Structure 1
């Protein structure tokens, strides 16, 4: 299972990097969001993909699942949502002011 997750994480990082390297602001925002999803899966995979019971007293299980990676991922999802919303608002405002979402045109490069 870890091998499959590693391949999926690599695919997400590849797609996110490709989108970040484009010139459109919307694609850059989607790329950062996809990379953050890859990071979430990476944290979950590094925490261990094992089955077990919750770490509570009174439950008769021999293996327990670590809840810390899940808590970190939950916090990271909320932060990712807030930063994505901020990026979308900033890009919309930039599009209103400048009339384009192309980063080369925003810089004023005539060669592009």
Structure 2
């Protein structure tokens, strides 16, 4: 059992990151903590895709390399997702700064209360 868990450790870590990120996004009222939770969730997804693409004894997909080959597609997708994630984080933090300037708080419940009072 321990050998099985040790061989699947990266999967466990990726699902742990997914769970922690989801909890941070759902369980916190602070907008900055929600963005941090989103980044933790994204990291879990990145790790899952990279671990899923691992091939034991794999080599780069070149004509002279021996089989089995490793597909470069998951790595390229993750690089693209990292760029999109950084952009999304920058936009979210920019919006959070604007929300703070407008309402004076980062608490989601307080912002909803202020909006409903207007």
Q: TM-score of the superposition, structure 1-length normalised?
A: 0.87
Counterpart among 8, 16, 35 of residue 11 in structure 1: 16
Q: Does 1:80 align with 2:85?
A: yes
Three-state SS of the structure 2 residue aligned to 1:108 is helix
Runs of 4+ in 1 over 6 A off after TM superposition: none
Partner residue, 1:34: 40
Q: How many residues align?
A: 109
Kindly report the root-mean-square deviation, in angstroms, between the aligned alpha carbons of the 2 structures.
1.8
Q: TM-score of the superposition, structure 2-length normalised?
A: 0.83
Give CA deviations for 1:5-41 in whole Å, capped at 9, x if unaligned.
1110121012101210210000000011110111111
List alignment gaps of at least 5 residues for structure 1: none
List alignment gaps of at least 5 residues for structure 2: 1-5
Contact 1:2 1:45 in 2 (8 A): no
2-structure distance, mates of 1:48, 1:83:
27
Give CA deviations for 1:32-83 in whole Å, capped at 9, x if unaligned.
1110111111112222343422111233x23221111101111100000000
Give CA deviations for 1:85-108 in whole Å, capped at 9, x if unaligned.
000000011011110000000001
Q: Which has the higher helix share?
A: 2
1-structure distance, mates of 2:41, 2:57:
26
